[in-house]
Amino acid sequence: MRRILAVLTLVPCLAVPVAGMPQAALERSAAGTLIDGADWRATVPANWNGTLLVWGHGYSFRKAAADDAPAQYRADLLRRGFALAGSSYATAGWALDTAPQDQLDTIAAFTAKFGKPRRVIAWGASMGALVTTAMVEHPDSGLDGGIALCGSIGGAVGMMNMGLDGAYAFRTLLAPNSDIRVTEIADDRTNAARVAKALTEAQATPQGRARVALAGVLAGIPGWTGGERPGDVDYDKQQTNIANAFVMGVFLPRTDQEHRAGGNFSWNVGVDYRRQLAATGRGTMVRALYKAAGLNLDADLARLNAGKRIAADSTAVKWMTANYTPNARPRVPLLAVQNIGDGVTSPSLQRAYVEAASRNQPANVRALYVAGSGHCSFDAATIADAIATIETRIASRHWSKSPARFVAYTPPPMSRPCLRGGACR
């Protein structure tokens, strides 16, 4: 990452206290533009408790507006005395080449306007959680802690390799003669429409449903992605949940990433799909669906192993490793929070990072799981408990007991783990 950039700021709005004036009217705010074109925004409440929360937004096809917090949490956080800041990042899309530094530069801009915070906590959701992870792994971030919400913190390369496995299985078994692309995709939305059409056709037969389940499991999609949670052996309902999340959960946006990286950064050369299915720990479900459909799972796995493989461009892999594949060595405490039924960002990614970081920096990482479904669908109380948990860790240097709203849960393992500086499966 580059060093702190100079900032071009707008004059902040400084509220003048008046007796009986609403709390919001007493807030101080500022906004500006960083030298690389990223916009930033900050708000300080009248009752500032000294802590600055630096928000990292998720993936956006268009350059996002600079928000200092999501709208559904903002008023509550200001009421409780937190100062808020965040940046747009310099560009839309997979902006991991600038986003972590844009966030650090936003902290510098905040400090120049309002003074040095007593404590700085980065927090972000989805891709923004990976931005936060990059920040807490930075050797000179100045952060006191971080919160990664519903995050792709298993890393870009491993995450997209999992997606490739699911996409390869789907095309090979269900749409071998179609125009569906799994890499080198000219337009994500056009490709997704082709996938959606083939998926609808597959869901109409037991054989197609079984093969969709296999592809989804290889990609790490959980068996609960919305609605009421299926039972542990309700494989039909789990399959429906996988299908509902399949297009976005498997055929992840690639066009922008490949353009930035200069080529394809995913591969399945040398991958044994019998071994991959076994590694997911979910083979029992897939075999049950195959048996009910009268299909031979071993024959389909043999088809996958015999199919034409996809090689990655080494330069593209290098770029995507840098932007961003974690090293699982957080320099400050990092709390990871995930719904167990997230069909967009697999909970297996959180497990992979936390297990690796627990070996490297055991005092600096903790995972919490919510008994909910959907991507980043946390209520304000969950966010409040997550912030309280990281603040207690920072103050006491020990992780406290998990708040009651979180549940004990271990996701299936990540089948394509890949960390910066380590081996990739």
How confident is residue 323, by pLDDT bands cut at 50, 70 and 90?
Answer: very high
Q: Which residues contact 291 (CB under 8 A, 6 or more apart)?
A: none
The structure tokens listed for 31 are 């906004």
Looking at every residue in the chain, the average pLDDT score rounds to 94
CA 63 vs. chain centroid, Å, equals 18
Q: Say which residue the tokens 């990540």 belong to.
A: 414
Q: What percent of the chain has pLDDT over 90?
A: 92
- pLDDT over 60 at 172, yes or no: yes
Q: pLDDT tens digits, residue range 263-313? A: 999 999 999 999 999 999 999 999 999 999 999 999 999 999 999 999 999
Q: What are phi and psi of 271, to 5 degrees?
A: -80, 130
Q: Quick count: other Cβ atoms within 10 Å of Cβ 17?
A: 8
Contact 213, 285 (CB under 8 A): yes
- pLDDT over 50 at 154, yes or no: yes
- pLDDT over 90 at 5, yes or no: no
The Cα–Cα gap between 20 and 39 comes to 33
How confident is residue 425, by pLDDT bands cut at 50, 70 and 90?
Answer: confident
Using DSSP's 3-state secondary structure scheme, residue 62 falls into coil
Distances in Å between the Cα of 35 and the Cα atoms of 11, 67, 112, 120, 303 are 16, 18, 15, 22, 52
Half-sphere exposure in the Cβ direction for 227 (13 Å, CA): 10
The Cα–Cα gap between 125 and 218 comes to 24
Q: What are phi and psi of 219, to 5 degrees?
A: -85, -5
How confident is residue 2, by pLDDT bands cut at 50, 70 and 90?
Answer: very low
The Cα–Cα gap between 352 and 174 comes to 30
How confident is residue 26, by pLDDT bands cut at 50, 70 and 90?
Answer: confident
The Cα–Cα gap between 405 and 295 comes to 42
- CATH number assigned to the domain covering 7-155+323-407: 3.40.50.1820
Distances in Å between the Cα of 385 and the Cα atoms of 260, 335, 400 are 37, 11, 11
How confident is residue 16, by pLDDT bands cut at 50, 70 and 90?
Answer: very low
Strand partners, 52: 83, 120
- pLDDT over 50 at 19, yes or no: no
- pLDDT over 90 at 423, yes or no: no
DSSP β-ladder status, 334-341 and 365-373: parallel
DSSP β-ladder status, 7-9 and 13-14: unpaired
Q: Where in the chain is the domain with CATH 3.40.50.1820?
A: 7-155+323-407
Contact 224, 409 (CB under 8 A): no
Q: pLDDT tens digits, residue range 86-110? A: 999 999 999 999 999 999 999 999 9
The pLDDT value recorded for residue 303 is 98
Asked if the peptide bond before residue 324 counts as cis, ω within 30 degrees of 0, the response is yes
Q: Which of 24-38, 132-146, 330-344 bottoms out in mean pLDDT, i.e. has the lowest?
A: 24-38
Q: pLDDT tens digits, residue range 336-383? A: 999 999 999 999 999 999 999 999 999 999 999 999 999 999 999 999
How confident is residue 23, by pLDDT bands cut at 50, 70 and 90?
Answer: low
Q: Which of 22-26, 210-214, 254-258 bottoms out in mean pLDDT, i.e. has the lowest?
A: 22-26
Summarize the confidence of residues 221-229 as an average pLDDT. Answer: 97
Summarize the confidence of residues 118-131 as an average pLDDT. Answer: 98
Q: Quick count: other Cβ atoms within 10 Å of Cβ 138?
A: 17
Summarize the confidence of residues 250-266 as an average pLDDT. Answer: 95
- pLDDT over 90 at 119, yes or no: yes
- pLDDT over 70 at 321, yes or no: yes
How confident is residue 12, by pLDDT bands cut at 50, 70 and 90?
Answer: very low
Dihedral class, residue 397 (left if φ above 0, else alpha if ψ from -120 to 50, else beta)? left
Q: Quick count: other Cβ atoms within 10 Å of Cβ 263?
A: 16
Contact 215, 197 (CB under 8 A): no
How confident is residue 25, by pLDDT bands cut at 50, 70 and 90?
Answer: low
- pLDDT over 80 at 9, yes or no: no
The Cα–Cα gap between 363 and 385 comes to 19
**Exposed / middle / buried, residue 232 (Cβ in 10 Å: 0-12, 13-18, 19+):** exposed
DSSP strands (E only) in 131-219: 145-149
- pLDDT over 50 at 21, yes or no: no
The number of residues in the chain equals 425
Q: What percent of the chain has pLDDT over 70?
A: 94
How confident is residue 167, by pLDDT bands cut at 50, 70 and 90?
Answer: very high
- pLDDT over 70 at 419, yes or no: yes
How confident is residue 68, by pLDDT bands cut at 50, 70 and 90?
Answer: very high
- pLDDT over 80 at 15, yes or no: no
End-to-end CA distance of the chain: 27
Cα-trace Rg, the chain:
22
Q: Which of 4-8, 51-55, 85-89, 237-241 bottoms out in mean pLDDT, i.e. has the lowest?
A: 4-8
The pLDDT value recorded for residue 185 is 95
The pLDDT value recorded for residue 1 is 47
Q: What are phi and psi of 238, to 5 degrees?
A: -60, -40
| CA proximity to 128, closest of 379, 387, 375, 386 | 375
| CA proximity to 407, closest of 338, 334, 333 | 338
